[in-house]
A and B are shown apart, each in its own frame.
Chain A
């Protein structure tokens, strides 16, 4: 079945450092890919998405490119801020399976001033 694997956390960075959170997926079809963010004490928020191969999703300085050849959707940001501290979830949904989301286990990011 479909699955998502994320790099394990926690990830601790200094402010203005470069961020990469790896995400790979397994899917039989052509899923849409998502990154969600969960700030402390808050609900899940959509950060960015990509619906087909080679699409790049971007938002708030974060980017991720849908790479079908490597089945990856790595999250990147050039300069993190303390306010980016949160848990990040990679997820996929497949149109042929009702559009339900399948999540990775999450990666906790802590940014120190």
Chain B
């Protein structure tokens, strides 16, 4: 297992276009998280899944954002009608989700989105 993979690494899009990012977690991890990180800030929580169920969404996740995790495997994050304020690094992390690991997370390298 090579860890958490995210695709693409970079995405440049025009304002108003839709974009979709993919995250492949560590296979035995049942929890998957999405975060957004802007320059000079810490990552901010967006949403998380326990297997295929989306259990929590942050207020940061406007109606233009949607995330899925079909069959509890990979996940996608779609942003519709992108705005310049959406420009950020989008991070995915997975976790075994159990107390014994202290919720040890593994992060992917992220997808950097630039909206022009």
Contact = CB atoms under 8 A, between A and B. Distances in A.
B1 to A, nearest CB: 16
A44 B55 CA distance: 24
Contacts of A44: 43, 91, 93, 107
Interface residues of B, number: 27
Interface residues of A, number: 25
Contacts, number: 59
Interface string B21-51: 0000000000101010000111111001010
Interface in A41-94: 42-46, 49-51, 89, 91, 93
Contacts of A105: 40-42
Given A99-B95, A100-B45, A101-B45, A106 B105 contact: no
Given A43-B109, A101-B35, 8 more contacts: A32-B103, A43-B107, A46-B105, A100-B33, A100-B45, A103-B44, A104-B42, A106-B42
Interface of A: 4, 32, 36, 42-46, 49-51, 89, 91, 93, 95, 97-106
